[in-house]
Amino acid sequence: MQYTKDHKTGYLFDPFGHLGPKRRKLLEQSWAGVFREYLLNELPVEKIAKHFHPSMGRPSKELYTALGILILQQLHDLSDSEVVSTLAFDTRWQYALDITADSDGETTIAERTLREYRRIAVEEKLDGYLFETLTDKLIDAFDVDTSKQRIDSTHIRSNMRRLGRVGLFASTIRKFLSNLKRKYGELFSAQVPSELAERYLKKKGDSCFSRVKPSEARKSLKVVSEDLLFLVEKFWDNEEVSSLYSFHLLQRVLQEQCTVSKRQGGEKKVEVKPPKEVPSDSLQNPSEPDATYDGYKGPGYKLQAMGTYTPDEQRDETKPDLLTYVELEQAHWSDQGGLIPAIRRTKKRGCAPEELQGDTPYGSDENLQEAAKLGVKVISPVGGKRSSKLGLERFCLCKRTGQVRVCPQGHKPEKRWRTKKGRFVARFSLQHCKSCPLSPECPVQLGKRGVYLRYSAKGVRLAERRAYQETEAFREKYRWRAGIEGTNSHLKSDTGAGRLRVRGFPAVRYCVILKALGLNILRATSAQIARLRAQGALVKGILPRISTFLRSKRRFKVFSPPIVGSFAQFRLSKSICPRWAA
């Protein structure tokens, strides 16, 4: 049965009044105060309420509490057992979730119940919805300026072991043999040689591949690849065995890591591929089949993160820098494909940037053209290696038409035109080019009537960007991009997103997106503290002036101590109203 409480209606008596003013102030200034004030009533409990009958059955856990616990667990990077004890005894959690009763039913939750609500949240894909809904609420509550943003990716690792090639082969074979022995014991005993079974199914640490010397790695790799081919060929025609998931992993490793060929006698031969020929989306660990490989950072996943920033001269401590977009991707995917989805998603929510900074992979010409159509200016360096020849940016180009005006030596072209395919052509004098000292590095081509320079509209745009990125104005703007690296670092260190407790793409996505929401809550907490301090300083500055003003009026008499916060400390003079003064 669905069970929810009304958290919008206030209380006649403060349920947390027994804490005292100092502890209550600490609660209001903590993350618990931010969560209770801005986010608790925005939780989409209707998304999980449909999994429970409206009126029949045992009451569910209070749905606002259940959904809030899932967010706070990722915010503080707690295990399930730690969540149970923290909810029962931590006043901040009870304040944040508006738990006013001291009963066990309100302040406790079973680990099994917690896992069930987490399963529902993953199935409903509530992670992205929670992040967008609650982040938009924080943006509105703290009046965050989203016109300037920056984007970058960071590497995320699940709870997986990093395996070498021998370890990958051996683990995949061990997984298959264990599964085969458990489900089809008779077939395992009859078809699998005892020597092969003992090689992989020994106790952990006793396997012949557990401690392989570097000098014997190649020999061991040959053994495991031959065993892999033997098992695939042995059970290829068996419908029951070939339908096992562990058998599909065997086939995947064989296809990605090995090359199978036939010898003269018809016998198959297996050879291990060189590391460069192995695709980046190959299997990294049989216990984590969704993880792929990044050439710089290894196996795992990639998180695209985009957030706001404010230059120092415009900095306001009461307005936090928040992440506006996060999305989990495969580790081998290029950053180039992450820019446009981020702009479109934030534009749909009304928090898209006007100016977006990213590093080189985001700054392809296609991305910049598409972003311009969406009303976003992307600031990014030009990719690609600089050739030894003179770049097009050394030529003087017309800003309106893109045609060449003069070459780096100051010579005008004899003729210039645009082809039907949209390319530009400029013809220079053969006499000038032969005597030019820059001719060995010049990108022109020798023709019958002269020397020709051919380029495209894309080349013009890239030339303009290369010229602009050498200016001080570009360096002054682009220097703020580095701050997103600090955001990624805080996400990993403050919320534990660098190494997660879970495996599998859905579970990893759920955890890391809620941790990004947790980082926004922590940053909003810092802004809330600054806001409360500013309000306190304003009150302290105004009250002495009011006191001075009232002292100057003979009709009023101010008793000590002087004004500190309330007009209740004032009394009328006896000369004006003796009855009230008594």
- Of 135, 64, 61, give the one whose Cα is nearest residue 93: 64
Q: To the nearest whole number, what is the mean pLDDT of the chain? A: 85
First-residue to last-residue Cα distance in the chain? 60
**Could you give the 3-state DSSP secondary structure of residue 147?**
coil
pLDDT above 80: residue 504: yes
CA distances from 248 to 177, 241, 300 (A): 13, 10, 21
Please indicate whether residue 43 or residue 202 has the higher confidence score (pLDDT).
43
pLDDT above 80: residue 243: yes
CA distances from 359 to 54, 152, 446, 475 (A): 51, 7, 37, 13
Please indicate whether residue 153 or residue 498 has the higher confidence score (pLDDT).
153
Alpha helices in 350-427 (DSSP H): 365-373
State the Cα–Cα distance between residues 65 and 107, nearest whole angstrom. Answer: 9
Q: What is the pLDDT of residues 524-542, one digit of tens each?
A: 999 999 998 888 765 656 6
Taking phi first (over 0 means left), then psi (-120 to 50 degrees means alpha), and beta for anything else, what does residue 532 get? alpha
pLDDT above 60: residue 296: yes
Could you give the count of Cα atoms lying within 13 Å of 318 in the half-sphere of its Cβ? 10
Q: What pLDDT sits at residue 113?
A: 94
Locate tokens 């209740």: which residue? Answer: 568
Identify any residues that bridge with 453 across adjacent strands, giving them in sequence order. Answer: 426
Structure confidence at residue 164 as a pLDDT band (50, 70, 90): confident
Structure confidence at residue 465 as a pLDDT band (50, 70, 90): confident
- Of 149, 145, 198, 189, give the one whose Cα is nearest residue 319: 145
**Could you give the 3-state DSSP secondary structure of residue 113?**
helix
Backbone angles phi, psi at 96, to 5 degrees: -65, -40
Structure confidence at residue 459 as a pLDDT band (50, 70, 90): confident
Give whichever of 6-15, 429-438, 485-494 has the largest mean pLDDT.
485-494
Q: What pLDDT sits at residue 568?
A: 38
CA distances from 483 to 117, 322, 334, 515, 542 (A): 36, 12, 21, 19, 38
Q: What pLDDT sits at residue 53?
A: 87
Segment among 31-40, 115-124, 200-209, 388-397 with least mean pLDDT: 200-209
State the Cα–Cα distance between residues 432 and 428, nearest whole angstrom. Answer: 8
Percent of the chain's residues with pLDDT above 90: 53
Structure tokens of 444? Answer: 């022109």
Residue 451: DSSP 8-state: E
Q: How many CB atoms lie within 10 A of CB 517?
A: 25
Q: Is the dihedral of CA 138, 141, 145, 147 positive or negative?
A: positive
Helix axes 505-551, 111-123, angle to 10 degrees: 100
Structure confidence at residue 264 as a pLDDT band (50, 70, 90): low
Structure confidence at residue 558 as a pLDDT band (50, 70, 90): very low
pLDDT above 90: residue 494: yes
State the Cα–Cα distance between residues 201 and 203, nearest whole angstrom. Answer: 7
pLDDT above 90: residue 499: no
Segment among 52-56, 82-86, 147-151, 568-572 with least mean pLDDT: 568-572
**Could you give the 3-state DSSP secondary structure of residue 159?**
coil
Q: What pLDDT sits at residue 520?
A: 96
Q: What is the pLDDT of residues 350-382, one digit of tens each?
A: 999 999 999 999 999 999 999 999 999 999 998
Q: What is the pLDDT of residues 62-119, one digit of tens each?
A: 999 999 999 999 999 999 999 999 999 999 999 999 999 888 889 999 999 999 999 9
Q: What pLDDT sits at residue 553?
A: 53
Q: What is the pLDDT of residues 300-316, one digit of tens each?
A: 999 999 999 999 888 88
* Domain annotation for the chain: domains and CATH numbers: 17-124 (no CATH), 148-157+301-381+476-520 (3.30.420.10), 165-277 (no CATH), 392-463 (no CATH), 552-581 (no CATH)
Q: What is the pLDDT of residues 180-227, one digit of tens each?
A: 999 998 999 999 998 888 888 876 544 555 445 555 455 688 888 999
